[in-house]
Amino acid sequence: MSQNPEPNRIIAIDGPAASGKSTLAQRLAKHLGYLYFDTGVMYRAATLAGLRAGIPPGDEKRITKLAFELSIDVRPPSKADGRPYDVIVNGEDVTWEIRSEAVDANVSRVSAYAGVRQAMTVIQREIGRRGKVVMVGRDIGTVVFPEADLKLYLDATVEARAERRYKERMARGEQVEYEEVLDSMRARDHIDSSRDLAPLQPAEDAVILDSTHLGVEETLERALGLVQA
């Protein structure tokens, strides 16, 4: 049970890639006047920094050192190009670079490292403790904030999720094949759910929502119903 005087001060939303977590969390946060915090950004930032530094993604020691030294800032959007926020890593705007195929292909490997998770979890807890936050990720309800006031686990079939990601990429003008997106998503799902540390799984007390056939508004309505319940 929560010790918080105000209900739903921390809302945790977990689930696999492109299950609709970010869209739901952004809307929910806006509706409630809460901070929206996407923890995936941090793992993506560490992965991009590693790739840029030429560190092989398999080099756990160097990647971990880099994760601890990284400066990651998330700020209100500076451009109207569809970005929900600016992601600034070591002073540079990498908002779109962290969404690249190269990052997608390596992020699950990097985020399975204990040291990387430790570095990121400390920051996530600092931010979450201030309250009034909708935090999105893979392990928010299970590891980062097991005491969260409300835990949602958003799911959808891998085909539906790959279709969404494929459309997002095409809309950004990228040349991608649906099959490639599907394969990459399956690979990421597998690593994220089978890793030893903080694997992707619903918390025991999470409410599971399947967004395969649920629109954005319906998902938001269900979530708001749970917040008010």
- Residues near ligand CDP (CB under 6 A) are 17-18, 39-40, 43-44, 107-108, 111, 137-139, 188, 192
Nearest distance from C-beta of residue 199 to ligand CDP, angstroms:
9
Nearest distance from C-beta of residue 228 to ligand CDP, angstroms:
26
Looking at the Cβ atoms of 7 and 193, the one nearer to ligand CDP is 193
Burial of 85 (0-12, 13-18, 19+ CB in 10 A): middle
Nearest distance from C-beta of residue 16 to ligand CDP, angstroms:
7
Q: Which helix (H) or strand (E) holds 147?
A: none
Give me the helices (H) in the chain, please: 21-32, 40-52, 60-69, 101-110, 114-129, 158-171, 178-194, 216-228
At residue 12, the 3 state secondary structure works out as: strand
Looking at the Cβ atoms of 6 and 126, the one nearer to ligand CDP is 126
Nearest distance from C-beta of residue 227 to ligand CDP, angstroms:
21
Sign, Cα dihedral of 14, 27, 20, 121? negative
Q: 156: alpha, beta or left, given left = phi > 0 and alpha = psi -120 to 50?
A: beta
Question: What are the structure tokens assigned to 27, written together?
Answer: 């809307």
Looking at the Cβ atoms of 181 and 220, the one nearer to ligand CDP is 181
Nearest distance from C-beta of residue 7 to ligand CDP, angstroms:
23
d(CA 47, CA 81): 23
Spatial neighbors of 165 by CB under 8 A, at least 6 apart, are: 17, 18, 181, 185
Looking at the Cβ atoms of 7 and 77, the one nearer to ligand CDP is 77
Looking at the Cβ atoms of 7 and 95, the one nearer to ligand CDP is 95
Nearest distance from C-beta of residue 17 to ligand CDP, angstroms:
3
Looking at the Cβ atoms of 7 and 114, the one nearer to ligand CDP is 114
Nearest distance from C-beta of residue 219 to ligand CDP, angstroms:
15
At residue 139, the 3 state secondary structure works out as: coil
Looking at the Cβ atoms of 6 and 81, the one nearer to ligand CDP is 81
d(CA 64, CA 111): 10
